[in-house]
Chains A and B, each alone.
Chain A
Amino acid sequence: MKDLVGLFPYWAVIMLMMTGLYIVIAQGNLVKKLIGLGIFQVSVFVLYIAVGVVDGGTPPILDDEFAVYSNPLPSVLILTAIVVGVATLAVGLALSVRIREAFGTIEEEDLLPLTAPTHPVVTGPEAETDTNAGREETRP
């Protein structure tokens, strides 16, 4: 039983991850998907960091006062992963901006008919602006 309590942080993090994954799959708005992806990824980061924790340890910065340090490796990996995450986000956002300009919408539901293989070829970013759903809201 004590062991199960010791696993609780992991389970909480798994809950968070799955909420993120749910948003990615279930939400139709492209930006919302990206945000869900962010939540998914950050939760994975938490899992990594949780793995590196050592009871009674301190942050892995050497000092004569301390003898027990938490594992530095997960921190390093996650530093990398955070940057990868923001890079993906930036490219994803740029893509959704272009999609909004080319199709007039970023809702998956509205995009489906416009992107079907049978839809005639439209070139260029501003070729079609017939779907103006939500156009007014674009000016904050």
Chain B
Amino acid sequence: MTQHQLMLAAILLPFATALLILVTGRWQNLREAVTLVGAAGLAIVVFKLIAGFDAAAAAPLVLAEILPGFKVMLRAEPIGLVFAGVAAGLWGLNSLYSIGYMRAEHAPRQTRFYACFAVALGCAMAIALSGNLATLFVAYEALTFATYPLVVHWQSEGAIQGARRYLAYLVATSLVPFLGAIVWTWIAAGTLDFTPGGILDGRLDDGLLAVLLFMFAYGVGKAALMPLHGWLPSAMVAPTPVSALLHAVAVVKAGVFTLLKIAVYIFGIEVIGRGVGDLLVVVAAASVIVASLMAMTKDDLKARLAYSTVAQLAMVTLAVALGEPIAIAAGVLQLVMHAWGKITLFFGAGAIQLATHKKRLSEIAGIGAEVPLLMVAILFGALSVAGLPPFGGMWPKFLLIEAAVDKDMTVLVVCLGLSTLLTLGYLVPIVIQAFFRAPHDDDPHHLPEKHHEEGDLPILALIPPVVTAAGCVVLFVAAPSILAFVAPVIGLGGLP
């Protein structure tokens, strides 16, 4: 298949899967088999796309023209392919986990769940492969609406409220600042195509460019830059596999990916680096520290992880704002590493809940003995997210600090170091609590007569976290090849 056909296949395959899920919804096993086959197929397609990628031959594929000049257009490029690879690779694992989780929870409306999940993946693929800002916006909006039914899944009063906040934040930011910024860009530059080196240089003066950059940074609400991060904790009302999707696979990732694309292909890295992004650096760095501190205060495991995401992904915004090739490289790597690390943590949190019906940090004391393998996986994920070797998460932190040093931003270097400590501070206690504390006897949720074991845990809920934890280690080794893959488009000479 040609690149064009592969791109179309990558987008259409999840939609076709969704359709098949709806058709086969009545037969649970068949429906879940369809999901898995779809996920495997997508992984293969994206792998072929990456393997066959040739920067010189990557021609755009125009699908439609919504308004004259506002085209729906696809084009493969390295950063997008990296995102596509992450999303496609994690969909299969997430589906396996979903099957285990949803069956164990006896969740209703599972057909809708799997179908929307597939649609969300299709939208993520479209975002990854978009050839211009217009297409990216279209897919970005579609992703918001496709994930709404997932967030509201339990349809309890709390779920409805949380989903409302989720939608309000994302739609409000995308329809006002984001769309406004897109139209402004469109008028100023006369095009929306992603062009290496950017399209805005010389079209607007630097002051206005800084304003525009802020409109994008806050318009892309999915990037959850503080103070517009509120939707992310609200969305925790969703089932855990959905949280994993939001945090690791598609949604937040789509947000920061959008920012990366805008930095590289709309503004141009040098343009941002010459001072346009300076204010955003401050905001993003503050976001990193504040969100980390807030994470430490949360007792609910998933809430803690949510604030952790806000902090970790603010680093990508920070990378974007620095406007240095190394920083962008760090941003791309952070996108990958955080996905694998954070999905491990969410899988773990969900599995703990399945196995022990506990979801608070204070409740899980002593469960390490019951679910040792799971807790080790969680530890791997935590260390990777914190940025310690030998886990993939080390790379982006390292490169980001290097970029800050390059720019002589001593304060920023301190900030980043502090953030690593804070991350350890809010993630490692999970493991410590589980292994080294004795269970409280007065815990009302603790049922002494029933001893929890990993045997209680559906095997499908245990394998995915273990695999992703192992992935974190593998990525430590694989990171240089990812860097080499994206290096040409971001103007990174040799490897650092």
In the complex, A touching B (Cβ < 8 A): no
Interface residues of B (CB under 8 A from A): none
Interface residues of A (CB under 8 A from B): none
